[in-house]
Structure 1
Amino acid sequence: MDIPQVPTDNLYKFKAIVGVVIVAIVLGFTVTRMIDVELQTIEVETQIQKNEINSRQLVKEIERFERKSINTAEEINSLDQKRVQLAERNAETRGNLNKARFHLRNIYGLLILAVVGSVIGYRMAKVGFQEWLIHVQQPQDALLALQVKVLEKEIPNQSQLADS
């Protein structure tokens, strides 16, 4: 019974290509995730600045309100609604800030995984390409060189036969 030979050429190439793909995916995902966290941080910082502006504006309105001797119920309700809205926006911003901090803490773990994944992918690609070079390409090159030598010896012999 004849056992088929495993196509090692394809296995070496597969290992090398998978290694390259692992590196590309790990680095691509990490960079994308880092950009997302940075954008989220910028959004939170922008919201904090807006809240500070609104807070200063509300403080000015309260000061004007306190200076007036007579205030209507409508003015009191309006001021109270603004205060509540600002408190709600501040609470939402604090929640977004906590989310951004959480994602930032997780980025460090992701960076560690990215380094480990990149090293594994690089090693896998390197080993795959080396095995392909040593076990496939170099023997094929040696065989081709031998065939060229044989043909070079046969060709002068054939031209001598043709001359006779």
Structure 2
Amino acid sequence: MTSPGYTPATATHTRYEPTQTETVLARLSPRSTRFPARRHMTNADLQALREAGLASVISSQPRPRIGIYAMVRDGQDPAVRLAVARGLVLRHDWPEAQASVDFTGMTDPATRPQLARLLDAVDRRAIDGIVAMSRTDLTHLNDYYEETLRRIHARGGFLALATAETDI
């Protein structure tokens, strides 16, 4: 239904201009981590991708140094999420280097300062991998999750989860 005087032919086309924040974030994100569009992966595909990265690092580094990560909403207590992730670290006898929490809620993983700190630690080889309670600490969206996994793997690191992708 259209209003009087409005038709698709008379509609003005607006051009989207990225915000200053989006422009800065795009510049900070290395081009090598921007991945071409691919088929949508299932949860099982994503779990296989994550486990392949984990196996690759574990084969060369049997006791990897770990950064624990949790993401919660502002005002939410991260203690349970951190404890579950720490339990996985203890079961594998991995040394814990640091724990980080983002209080941003469900936002784009590229905009979380503590996750960025852990990725930088992987780059510097201060840690070998990141452990979280579940993939929802990163994102519930498959495309963003795949991109985040590939960013971690491109840096030579891995992601280990206390719960499988199919347990969301």
Bigger radius of gyration? 1
* TM-score, normalization by structure 2: 0.18
* TM-score, normalization by structure 1: 0.19
Q: Which has the higher strand share?
A: 2
Higher relative contact order (CA 8 A, sep 6+): 1
